[in-house]
Structure formats: C-alpha cells, structure tokens
Structure 1
Amino acid sequence: MDIPELPRRLYTLGEEPEPQHSISYHSDNNRLHAALKGALTEKEFEELKESRLGVFIKFKEQGFGWASRLVHHMLCLKLDIKKKYEMWCLVGPEPLRFSLLEFEMITGLNCEYIEDLDTPKCDVTPEMVSFWGMMGVHLEAGPTTDQIIDALKRCGDWSTEDRKRLAYLSIFTGFIEGRKFSTATRATLARLVMDLERFENYPWGRVSFKVLMDSLWNKEITGCYTVDGFIQVLQVWAYTALPGMGASIGSPRLNSSLPPPPPILAYDGSRGRRFMKAAILSQTRVINFVEKDISEMWPKWDSEVEDVPAENIIKVMYDRRPWKWTMDCWEVTGTKTKFVTPSKRAKEMVVVEVEEEEEDNQRPRKKARKEAPKEARKEAPKEAREEAREEAREPTPQKDQPTLQTNHPTPQTRQRTPQKAKPTPQAKETGVSNKQPTPQAKETGVSNKQPTPTPQTQPTPQKAKPTPQKAKPTPQKKQPSPQTKQPSPLPKERLLPEDTADEAISVYKILPEDKADGVTSKEIVPLTSTDQPSFASNDQQPSFASNDQQPSFASTDPSVPVSEPSLVVLDKTAPTASVRARSERTKKPAPTQISPYTAERKKLLRVGKYNPFPSLNSRKLKELADWLKTDPDYYTKLEDKPRTSPTWWYHKLRTPKAWLEDVHMDAWMNVLRQRYQENPQAFRSERMCFLDHNFSHSWRDQYLFFKASAPDHKGLGRMLPSGASLFYDGSMPSFCQSNKKWGEDIDDIYAPVNLNNKHWVAIWISIPKRHIVVWDSIPSSSVPEAWDEIMEPFLEMVPYMLVECAATEEERGKYGLERYTYERLLKDVPTANNGDCGVYALKYIECHALGVPFSAKDFARSNAKTMRDNMAVVIWTELVDQHLKNNEDGGMFVGMYD
C-alpha cells in the first residue's frame, strides 16, 4: 500500500553539520541559584521546591550533566516541517516527535491552553510600582537575571510575601525565559507575580515550551549558536525517546518514591561520548511519541499552521497498526544545501581551475590574466619566428622622440608613413598606450597596423580592455579610409594596458624556462625605444617626425632607455609575446611609517609611542555632547534610561567614581586591540594580546568544572572553560582578531578581572616567565588571603591549556604543567578613589603595553575625570558605534564544551 506524502529531511543523509562549538544557553545559572538559596530561609526554600514550579529548583540541585553534542545531533536529524511548535527527528528510519505533549510528560508542568498566553491582562497597582522600585527595575520592563541577583542580595529585610515574589521571578527569568543575563524579560508576564495564586497556577509549562521552540525555529546550527529557554529538556527527551541511550549514558537515578518523579528528575545526565552521532543512529528501540486519542494529538496554538505531511506521520502509525518504518519511506536528500566548514572552503579555494571557452566569448579580466601565460606558450609558426629574428637583426636609427599625445594618427601623417616596412606576421594586433610616458618605463611596443583617421573633435583616450581572444572595439567612432577597407593578410594585434603589465611580465619570465612547447628564449624579445616611431604634435594631431624612420618590432638591445610603458601581448593564435621589462618599483611607506623609505637615510622611520594621558580635546568633547542630544532617551531620568541608551552609556563612563560596566571595559580593550593591530610598533612588543572581561569571567566561573574533571594518565583530558581554544588561537575576541596562538606567537596577555561586581583589577600573564602580575588600584578592597583563590584558575589553567593545545610532544615538554606564580604589586602602583578602579585598571594595561612607567602625576586622583573624558572621546571617535552593540562573543561563555 502506498504511503501518503511525508516531510523531507532538513539535511541530506550523511551531510549533517558537525558541532563546531558547544551550544550556548542561559538557563541553569549558578550565580542565580546561589543568590536565591542565600536570600531565603530554609523553610521558605523548601516551600519553593514543593511548589508547582519547584521542579526547576530540584533539577538544578541534582547537578544535571549537560551534553551539547547529543542535543546538536538530534537537531541535525530534524525533518523540514511547517509547524512551529512541533519537531520531528529521524533516527534511522524511525521518526521521533517533540511537541507540547512530550514536554508536559517530561517536566510535569502545567501546559493547558489559555488565550493571550504572552499578554495576560494585569493592572498596574501602587503595590506593583513599589515592588518594581524595590527591585530597581523600570516599570515598563521585566527584570533581568542580573537585576534579580542584585535584588536577592539585599532582600533580607523584605516581607515574606515580597521575598516569595522575588523567588518566583528568579525561576521565571532563569529557567522559563532563560534569556541572556542582561536582557529584560517580558513585563506582561512578570507582573503576574503580584497575584501569587494566579502566578502559581499559570500554564508556565506552555510558556516555557513556546520560548524554547521560538528560539529553535529556523535556527542556524552550522556554527556557534545560542538557544533561549529550558534547553536541557531536549536532552532528557532524547533519553526518553531512545531508552537504550538513556540507560547507557543518561545516568538514570534510582528512586523508589511514589509517585515517581517526572522524567526531568530521573536522570543525572552526562557529557556524552565522543562518537555521539554513531551512538544515536545505532539505537533500534525508540518511543516515537506520547500516545493519546487521535483528536488530542495536536495541541491547540493560536498561530499554528496546517502541515499535512507532518500530520501524516501520526495518521499512518494510527491507521495502519502495526506499522514498520523503513529507510525507503524517506527521501535521502534534504531541503538544505550541504554545509562546508570555513576551513574546508578555504582549502578548496586554493586550487583554481580555469576552463577554456570559445574564442569569440568575452572573458572577464581576472580570467584573461590567468590564461595569458597559457596562450603565450602555444607553438608559433616556424616562418613567423624566422621572420621576427631577421627583423630584429636589422639596425634601426636612433632619434629623439617627443612625447606621444594620442594613438590616432591623421590621414596626412598616415600617407607619410614608409610603406616598405614589412611588419612581422607574429602579431595579430598592436596598440600603443595613450598615457604620457613615464621615466620608469623600459620598453615600448608600437602598432604596425595602418592607422585610421579620427574626427576633428579629439575624443577622450580610452584604455582597451584586455581579452586573450581578440581586441575589444574601441568606443570612439572612426571614419575608415579606403586603405583600411582592403583585406590585409596580416593578423590583427592586441594592446595590453599598463595595469596588466605586471601580469604579462610573468609570461616573459616563464617562457624562456618552459621550452616543452617549442618556444625558445630567443623568440621572446622585449621592445625597446629604437622600435618606436617618433611622433610630433601638430594642432593636437600626432604625426611621424621622420619619413625615413622605419619602426622595428623586435630588438635585442635592452639597454636603450624607453619612454612608454605599453607592451604587446600576442593573441591566442600567435603565442609569442613581446613585453616590456619590469619597471623599477616605487617603494611606498607602510601604514606604520611616517615617511617612505629613502636610500640616503638607510632606515625606516617608525611611529613612536603615543601619549596615554593626552590633554583633553574640548572640541571633540562638545561634538560628543551634541551627538548625545539626539538620543530619544536624552531627557529621560537616569534610573529610567535603558542600558542600550548612548546617554546612559556615556554618563556612566564620564561620571567620577561611577562603576564601569563590562561594556565599558570591553570598549577600551577594543580600542587597545585596534590600535595595536594598526600600529604594533607603538607598543613595547609585537607578541601580545588584549582580552576582554569574558576571558576572566568565564575562567573563574567555570574553574570548578576543570577542577572536578579527572585527568588521564598524561595529566590531560580535563574540561576547559567555554571558548578556551578560541582565546588560545586568537579567534576571540572577535573584534580585531589577532589569529595568533599563545606561546607560539603570543608572550604577553592583558585582561581586566571583575571581582564579584565590586572591584576591577588588571592582570598581565607572561608566558615565557610563567608568571602573572596583578595591578590593584585599591589594595584595601580585599584581604591578601583571598588572592590565592582568585588567581588559582589562571595559575592552573593557562599552563594546562598550552600543553593541551600543543601540537607535538616536544612543545608539551617545553611548556609543562607546572603551576604559574603570581605577585600582587603594591609598590609604585598609583591608587584610585572608590569607583574609579575600572579606569585605573585599563590605564595600567595601556601604560605597561606601551612601556610607559606608572607616573604618580599622570595617575593622580584629581585626573580621574580627565581620564574618563578622554576615554569617552577616544571610544566615540575610534569605535564609532561599535561599543554600543552587544558583545557578540558573550553567548560563547554560558555553556560548556563537550
């Protein structure tokens, strides 16, 4: 029996994209959970765990192991369907469904249908205004995860009801919404917390599922990508749909409680295995979907579309029981094209194959350049070569030649041209350049074709475009003379313009060595000035200066100076080429040089170190102030300004003693990275890199995973933080990538370090010295005993990563796994006022990278305002609006590598 239409695969079988990086996600926040547990009493925390939303807290406390590769490969096996809130994956011949029914079964959350799910009606009350003010959140916005964490740290004197509201919002922001930590949640849903009973009974399971599926819809998974929402449920779904895999790698929990917990709490999870895709495809026992009555198999959605092929999967299995799926039921090809990784694409582009086309086709410029050497190597007729050599041996009189004005001789001068000069049959077509002669030119080619008259109005000279087959007709309209209408037995010639001269020189160099096609070195002879006729200007019309001068088209004397840089390259049917010699190159200064190289000085003048403490540019500062007035939020109160507002951004940066956010620190590090890339000579070394806050934040935050992972017998195989390999090879930060590897190309690493959102310090990691230096502008901000714990992630993981990423055993022995040392410098390190630590940390890095000592005068506390203003002007001038965009690398540091 024929089966109905079924959906196709998204990716062709066997061409699914391999995981490039770990999937980034924002749920399961350690900082949020720690702050929540510390803000509530033990009784309040237990009540929260037993509530209808307590499944998220229980899931967090069981320490679920995230397996990014498993989820990625399941997403690669998707079928291409139209339904947004449903997903089908094809494991072998078996289709697996992930819909709201499976989500409800796995989590046990309320998933019932209600109208206006995302926009419930909730009136603004004075109690709501007061509570939002206590959290420090704008009334028209929902709280961010960072704002919830800050509120949890200061809610000790709040009422029990307000702390419970804050706890529910923690679950809402951290698990249900699961967005970036600094992204505001939806205020329409967050306001429900003012009615605790309504909040607890709201269908948060449906909301959570919708957030996840909205994020996965049309998600590009060929590179690094981030998924919003409670993504861990996909991993548990894979365990339940593939029971064999769940039993083998899912670490099922032994639980004899009644009733049994939902599947989300039945597995401890794991990081998976190396060959995850093969393990998935080897599964033979599957659970296709949650079975209900056929009328209940498609949950109701307000905006869902009809998809008959996807519905046919369920209908076939219901109507034709028992149904057995086979590979013949599914098409092999997918709806998306094959994904090629950037590295493979680069390798494929190295080999360029040039296909031959018909002679009458017009080929593009680049293709013509590539084919010129190929055409010149063809064998020339023997008679043409002999005649060319005889012509070259004839002596040619030397005469002074005036400047060539144009390549269109008049009829009068054409009649005065000697007719006894017999042109060589080697060339098909010859042209002369319409440019003024340059002193650098060595040789010149001239035309042996009968010239044609031109109109009285002198047209603008046009360059002939190079085509290897035949000459392109010139754009000027000419009046053909009777002589030119006569058929000529001579082949046509072609002019190669000056800008392709360097390409044609390669023909001149290749042909003497490549004699396999019968072309000898004597047959490739450059033209000299003796071969060029003299022209004189008469009423803006060119003419020959002498009647008895006969141009020669091949000369063996290369020492004669030349005044015209044009050259002759023969057409496809006449392979021999006459080209000028390479002109002497004019040496130009590099961008990092003040003046060009001069033979007299015998040295390069390099740019010196710039002043890291310049005087304030008042004019630029006023321009910045005027530009900020165009911000729509310019007149909004500071506490109500969004974080994306330029006025908020620059106000925080320019205000003395104001805490600098991560975005401000990253912006100045981008300035240093851009300056270093454009002018590395200004810095003390060309083997350094500047990292942003993501480096120190991710390494400190994920050090516990590294510490808990067990090494192999060589001491390797431990879990490094997210993005560690990208920092190592210079791919990150992505702004002004260095693409230099630590140890191999980099010796010095600079980065700011955020200490619990209270203090900024700067660190300098010296790989050759195996030592780390800390510059602290406020030494009293922390106790000395705490620094061992603060620096431990860098002391342990930097040497480990150098060994882990080393290509050979010799390099691994060179770096070694021994722990680095560190020192916290206090002497000769200027101190700052409270709040200015971020500015001083950035200036420490800049001065040390430039080799400028820390001056007490420059770092005076009274200069903090000037330093801030200068940084604002520089950032606004050099980065334009780049600093106002979200850090595109931020999503890389919230998940873990497999």
Structure 2
Amino acid sequence: MVASEFPRRLYTKGFEPAPDKSIGYYADDYRLVPALKSALEEDEWEEFFESLLGVFLKFHELDFGWASRLVHHMLTFQIVCKQRYKIWSLIGTTPVRFSLHEFEEIIGLNCGYVDDLALTDLLSDDTRAFWELMGVDAESGPSTIEIIEACSNCSSWSRDDRLRLGYLGIYAGFIVATRPGSSTNVNHARLVMDLEGFKEFPWGRIAFQHLINSVKEKDLSKNIYIEGFVQALQVWVYYALPDFAAEFGEPLPNVTEEPLLLAYKGSRGRKNVKANMLKQARIQCCVAKDLADMFPVWDDDEQDPDIVKIVSALHDPNFKFSKNHWPLGGVLGAHIVKSEAGKRSLPSDESSRKRSRTASASAASFVGDEGVGVVATMKAHFDQCFKSFSTKMLNGLGSCEKQIKLLTEKVESVERAVEELTTGSAKHTEDEPTHQQGTGSKKHEGCQGEAYHSNELYTIKPHMEAYINLLRLRLSKHPEWFVSDRICFLNSMFATVWRRDYEAFKQSEPNADGSEKLLPPGAYSYYTSELPIYCQTKKTWAYDVDYFYSMLHIREDHWVAIWVSFVTKHITVWDSHAATKHASDEQIAEAVEPLAVMIPYLLQTCAPDDDKWRFPYTPFTHSRVPGTEIPQNIQSGDCGVYCLKYIECHALDLPFPPELCDKNMRKIREKMAAELYDET
C-alpha cells in the first residue's frame, strides 16, 4: 500500500495546536460522591458501590490524576475519519482507534445497542411524585447541582428512592457529565423508576456517544470544556501504549480482573509528554493484543474506504507501517515546508514549540479535502500576501521607532498613575443608576450621590479598574479563552459600595415574609449585568452567570481578590498577605459578610415567583486560600496587582505562576500597562 491510500493527518506534523490551552471537564464533580455517600445508609452504599455502575465510585476513590496535555496530544495526532463515532490517531507511524469497542474495554459497562428513546409515556404518577420529592421540574432531567441539593434532604425517603437518587447522581455526574447546573435528558433520567432495569441499561453506549460528540465539536487551539466521561480518553492513551502507561500512568499493582479504568492512578504535570509518547510508539507499535480482536471490521467502516484500508493493513501480518505512508501535510494548520533537493523538512519539536498558534478550525468542521496540494496552496497565499503587504510593511518599519517611543511614554504614564490614589471618584457615575424594580422599595431614592463621598472609596486605584475592564473586553471578544462564558468581572466599586451600605440593609424593616429590605443602589443592574457599563453582558446572575470575580478592600489599606460562585453558594478569597495574616480571619469574615448576606437576598428578591425556592436567604459560605497555595506579596504596595493576576489566571483556568512574585513586579506592571495600551 502507498501513502495516498491512507487518510491524511488532521494537522500538519509539527504544526499541531500547542498544548498551552486547558481541557476542562465536568465529570466526577468533587461534591457529588461525598454527597451521595452521606445520603445513603451503609448497606445502601455497599449495594450501590458493588453495582455495575459502581465502577465510577471506585474510580473516584483512585483520585485519578488528570493529564490535559496527554489527551491534547492524542487528539492533535488525529487522522481524518469521516465516521461519526470513531477517532483515529497516529502515534509515530501506527494508527490507533478510539471507538465503542475500546471504550467498552476501558469502562467495563454494558455498551449494547439501544434505539433512540422517545419515552413520552413514562411520566407516571410515581415518576411525578419522585421528581417532586427531589424538587425538580417534572419535564426536566435533574442537574448535578439539584441532585447534590437533594442529597441533604433525603434522610426520610424510602430506601428505593434514596437508591434512585444515587443512580441519578451517577448518570448526571459521570455518564453525561454536563455543566453542573444544566438539565439532563429527562427520558434517560426517568428510567431510574425501574431500578433493576436502570442498572442493566446500556449506559456505556450512552456515555460513549455523549463523550465523542463533545470531543468532535471542539477547537483544540482554544481553552475547552469536554462533556462526558473525558478521563476515558486518558486511559485510552495507556491502552494504546502499555509501555508508556507503565512508566507514566502510575499503574496499580495486581489489577487483573477490573476494567482498565481502574488499573491506573494517572499522572499530573509530566514534562516532555509528546516526546515520550512517540518514543514508546517506536518501541511498541500498538497494544499487545491480537489485531483482529483489537480492530474488528465494523459495518460503519464501509462509510470510509480509507479507514477500511487501515484496518486491512493492520490485519495483514506481512504489512508494516512506515513514515512513508503518512505525508507530513495535514488538512488543518498547514504551512509552507522548506524544500531542499526535492525533499521537504519540518522544524524540530523544540523549535516548533516556539511557533505561534495557527490552527483555529475545529476538527469537526472538516468534511473532505478537495483542494490542491499544501505547498502549492500556501505558496500562492504567501505570494499574494507579499504583493499586497509590501508597501504597508515598509511604512510600518519606517514608523517603528516612533511607535516604540510612544509606547514607552504610555508605560511611564501608567506607572505614575499606579502610584497615585484616584481623586476623581465622582467620575464613576456609571456605577450608580437610579433604583431598579426588583431590589427593594423606593427607599433608595435620594442616596444616589452619597456613594462617592465615602473616604473608603478614595482608595480605588485606576490601574485596577482599567485592568478589570480589559478582562471584560477580552471576555466579550474571546469567550473561548476563558474557563467559561458564564462568568463576569466586577470592578472594586461594587464590593466597596455594598460594604458601605450593609448597615442600612440590616437596619431596614422587612415585610412579614422577609422581603423588601434595603439593598444597595444599582443592585438590580448588577444582577442583570448592566453594570459596570463597560462591555455590558446583560446576563442574569445564577441563570446565565455561574460566578463572578471582584476585589474587596480590607483594613482600609489592603486588597484581596474574591471569586463568588452562585453554583456552590461560596465565596473564595485570595489574599496576597494570607501567610502574614495582615488581616485576621475575623477581619476577612467581617469584610465578606455584606456580600455573603446580600447576594443571596438579591437572588431571592429578583427571582420569578415560581423559582424563588431555589434561592433561600441563607448566607453564602466563604474561605480564604492558605498562603502556602498561592503566590505571596512580601513587600507592601503590590496587593492590587496580585489581586488582578489571581483573577486573570483563575478565569483563564491557568495555575498561579511562580513568576508572580515581588522581584518581577516592575516587569509585571509594565506588561499590564502595555496590554492596556495595546488593547484599549
């Protein structure tokens, strides 16, 4: 067989998307299994744990180490496959497959055939009663969050109902593993009314289809979240490269009869993942099983003749894949390749890591390759670029010196501003609209102008407001960069005004049902994300927004960053002086209390009448991250920059870097100033 008979690489070799974007997931929510365990009696938990679906509970106990880079590399090694429910990746010169067959080997669940469900007649009286018991809309499948909440209220339920709740937790939190607040497929969820039937149902097939559909729609050049049991993809790498798994997958000893899912602890943060994968691929072409068993020919293979040729080659004992079978050019991320003596060469792995990211198309969007060759296409493209840009390039070079000088002046200007306190607080009038319906009575009238005469507000620094606005701008332009598009950034004025008005809230007289207490001015506009005005999102808290970031002023001389989650009803505090306890735990609690109390009050007040039960007046909890877990500020005066970087890193799903430290502070400030100048 020759190279033209096999499918092409999805990405040109050496120009795959760099693995510097995160792959997040919703499977195995850290709150779910503890909640289920606390909800069930000991004998119920044992039955639950030993059931077919108990494999997920056993997996949870492994504390499996997620390796985003490992999965990323495996997905960028893909070759073009037109089959909807299969992925083929090229490790070295050997293609390996991820299909229902491999998924069944990995997860050990029933993966038998099941028709599409249209079970409209399953809403029996018993089903409706159980949904009402859980506090879930009878027409919706319960979300992970709703199941976790139900676990705290099920002590008086019958044994079967508690088990039903447990199995629904497995379905929502592992099998489909969607966003915690999203409803699941109600037809699947209703199957839980037949406990024995639910346990025997082919959930493996449902889990596989949900996972692979989510994978195939993602753009690997961006931060992504994958729904479904994504950890199976990591075990797939171990399955395909046993020698690699033995060295890097932390295999568990004496595991023989369990599914592959329970054979490894996984590994976090390994360096040179790609190089080691390819090294092991050269040593061992594929998993040590009979090829006919590993790669059976399926009916849907006929949909893609190129894949049939791969399977046939794998079954041929006399055939051996070589690099000549796999041209370097792919259908995505293609680049001009240097030519010398008629041969093409690509940069080394080391140099390719320094390139800019180029592949932005989704693998799922590729249908077929009907174009001309990679080299010819790119040559024509570059010829056109040089023809049209030559004058612009010359003009740009001529103005380089002028631009550098201007940028330097801007940086120095921002640096000076950073050292000064703002004296123009009254300019922030965007944050104080008139009272909006839904945040209390007309008691707000007359207090609009007061917010900007409090001494506390004069501590607000312009660089903090400007950088928060920069994050808001980036989120509006590139939501795919962030951990989620269901977030928002609030300026420091928000928390400052709410702390100031907390006493008025406490002293105001409520109605008999607890409503109509005095909330701060503009509260409703924050709730609907019409404030701050810059880059409005107009997304409603707790409905379109899962959490927000802001900053909190402590002790009149210190800033801390806060992350407020509507999902967990919790406020996380990142303090750059946590190690020194510049602010005591009591002072942190006092500063957080106004938000912890008034935010749930606002959610309850603004929610529709039929939804108010979801938002009790119960205050949010809070915690301060220990100073040993985040970068700390030793010298004084930089707490605002630390706050901004905590928020930025967390929102982008990046670890807090060790480079965030006092000795680098001037460079960090200069870079922030340059970013502000460049983007705004």
TM-score (norm 1): 0.46
- Check the 8 A contact 1:5/1:309 in 2, yes or no: yes
Asked whether 1:610 is paired with 2:429, we answer yes
The residue number in structure 2 matching 1:94 is 94
CA distance in 2, matches of 1:295, 1:106: 13
CA distance in 1, matches of 2:354, 2:118: 42
Asked whether 1:114 is paired with 2:110, we answer no
Q: 1:617 to 1:323 in 2, by over 3 A?
A: closer
The residue number in structure 1 matching 2:372 is none
The residue number in structure 2 matching 1:51 is 51
The residue number in structure 2 matching 1:130 is 129
- Check the 8 A contact 1:763/1:775 in 2, yes or no: no
Superposition deviation, residue 219 in structure 1: 2.1
The residue number in structure 2 matching 1:810 is 663
Asked whether 1:790 is paired with 2:623, we answer yes
Match of 1:313 among 310, 313, 322: 310
CA distance in 2, matches of 1:137, 1:619: 25
Superposition deviation, residue 368 in structure 1: 8.3
The residue number in structure 1 matching 2:151 is 152
Superposition deviation, residue 693 in structure 1: 7.2
Superposition deviation, residue 239 in structure 1: 0.8
Amino acid at match of 2:593: D
Superposition deviation, residue 213 in structure 1: 0.8
Amino acid at match of 1:656: S
CA distance in 2, matches of 1:140, 1:237: 36
Q: 1:128 to 1:326 in 2, by over 3 A?
A: same
Superposition deviation, residue 608 in structure 1: 3.6
Asked whether 1:330 is paired with 2:141, we answer no
The residue number in structure 2 matching 1:170 is 169
- Check the 8 A contact 2:572/2:623 in 1, yes or no: no
1:331-350 alignment runs, 5 A limit: 331-338=327-334, 344=356
| Offset from partner CA, 1:270-293 (integer Å, 9 cap, x none) | 115111011111112132596576
Q: 1:806 to 1:199 in 2, by over 3 A?
A: same
Q: 1:40 to 1:305 in 2, by over 3 A?
A: farther
The residue number in structure 2 matching 1:751 is 562
* Structure 2: unaligned runs, 5 residues or longer: 336-351, 359-381, 403-422, 442-485, 487-513, 537-544, 552-556, 599-619, 634-641, 646-655, 669-680
Superposition deviation, residue 191 in structure 1: 0.9
The residue number in structure 2 matching 1:104 is 104
The residue number in structure 2 matching 1:29 is 29
- Check the 8 A contact 2:6/2:310 in 1, yes or no: yes
CA distance in 2, matches of 1:203, 1:373: 64
- Check the 8 A contact 2:439/2:524 in 1, yes or no: no
Amino acid at match of 1:41: E
Q: 1:762 to 1:610 in 2, by over 3 A?
A: farther
The residue number in structure 1 matching 2:79 is 79
CA distance in 2, matches of 1:605, 1:809: 29
CA distance in 2, matches of 1:14, 1:201: 45
- Check the 8 A contact 2:575/2:627 in 1, yes or no: no
Name the SS of the counterpart of 2:330 in structure 1. Answer: coil
Amino acid at match of 1:61: E
Amino acid at match of 2:630: M
CA distance in 1, matches of 2:70, 2:287: 17
Q: Please state which structure has a larger fraction of its residues in helix.
A: 2
The residue number in structure 2 matching 1:278 is 275
Q: 1:341 to 1:219 in 2, by over 3 A?
A: farther
The residue number in structure 2 matching 1:228 is 227
The residue number in structure 1 matching 2:190 is 191
1:479-490 alignment runs, 5 A limit: none
1:401-550 alignment runs, 5 A limit: none
Superposition deviation, residue 261 in structure 1: 0.9
Asked whether 1:656 is paired with 2:515, we answer yes
- Check the 8 A contact 1:63/1:268 in 2, yes or no: yes
CA distance in 1, matches of 2:15, 2:184: 37
The residue number in structure 1 matching 2:413 is none
Amino acid at match of 2:624: M
CA distance in 1, matches of 2:74, 2:568: 38
Q: 1:219 to 1:161 in 2, by over 3 A?
A: same
- Check the 8 A contact 1:665/1:752 in 2, yes or no: no
Superposition deviation, residue 144 in structure 1: 0.5
The residue number in structure 1 matching 2:240 is 241
Amino acid at match of 1:616: H
Q: 1:280 to 1:674 in 2, by over 3 A?
A: farther
CA distance in 2, matches of 1:233, 1:294: 20
Superposition deviation, residue 99 in structure 1: 1.0
- Check the 8 A contact 1:59/1:264 in 2, yes or no: yes
- Check the 8 A contact 2:562/2:571 in 1, yes or no: no
CA distance in 1, matches of 2:567, 2:2: 65
Name the SS of the counterpart of 2:88 in structure 1. Answer: strand
Name the SS of the counterpart of 1:751 in structure 2. Answer: strand
- Check the 8 A contact 1:693/1:752 in 2, yes or no: no
Quote the RMSD (CA, aligned, Å). 5.0
CA distance in 1, matches of 2:309, 2:596: 69
Aligned length: 473
The residue number in structure 2 matching 1:598 is none
Q: 1:127 to 1:619 in 2, by over 3 A?
A: closer
CA distance in 2, matches of 1:129, 1:355: 64
Superposition deviation, residue 76 in structure 1: 0.7
The residue number in structure 2 matching 1:776 is 593
Amino acid at match of 2:326: W
CA distance in 1, matches of 2:533, 2:108: 51
CA distance in 1, matches of 2:430, 2:397: 52
Superposition deviation, residue 806 in structure 1: 2.9
Structure showing greater radius of gyration is 1
The residue number in structure 2 matching 1:269 is 266
Amino acid at match of 1:806: E
1:596-675 alignment runs, 5 A limit: 608-610=427-429, 615-616=434-435, 656=515, 667-668=526-527, 673-674=532-533
| Offset from partner CA, 1:551-593 (integer Å, 9 cap, x none) | xxxxxxxxxxxxxxxxxxxxxxxxxxxxxxxxxxxxxxxxxxx
Q: 1:315 to 1:159 in 2, by over 3 A?
A: same
The residue number in structure 2 matching 1:485 is none
Asked whether 1:8 is paired with 2:8, we answer yes
- Check the 8 A contact 1:93/1:330 in 2, yes or no: yes
Amino acid at match of 2:435: L
1:785-864 alignment runs, 5 A limit: 790-793=623-626, 796-799=629-632, 804-806=657-659, 810-811=663-664
TM-score (norm 2): 0.59
Superposition deviation, residue 305 in structure 1: 7.3
Q: 1:770 to 1:195 in 2, by over 3 A?
A: same
Name the SS of the counterpart of 1:335 in structure 2. Answer: strand
Identity %: 34
* Structure 1: unaligned runs, 5 residues or longer: 347-351, 358-362, 375-502, 510-603, 623-643, 645-654, 678-691, 697-732, 739-745, 782-786, 816-898
CA distance in 2, matches of 1:169, 1:12: 43
Amino acid at match of 1:89: S
Superposition deviation, residue 124 in structure 1: 1.5
CA distance in 2, matches of 1:372, 1:60: 56
- Check the 8 A contact 1:119/1:189 in 2, yes or no: no
CA distance in 1, matches of 2:427, 2:204: 62
Q: 1:749 to 1:322 in 2, by over 3 A?
A: same
- Check the 8 A contact 1:122/1:188 in 2, yes or no: no
CA distance in 2, matches of 1:168, 1:63: 21
Name the SS of the counterpart of 1:193 in structure 2. Answer: helix
CA distance in 2, matches of 1:44, 1:619: 45
Amino acid at match of 1:25: Y
Superposition deviation, residue 814 in structure 1: 13
- Check the 8 A contact 2:9/2:78 in 1, yes or no: yes
Q: 1:245 to 1:608 in 2, by over 3 A?
A: same
Amino acid at match of 1:176: I
Q: 1:159 to 1:342 in 2, by over 3 A?
A: farther
Amino acid at match of 1:237: W
- Check the 8 A contact 2:98/2:236 in 1, yes or no: yes
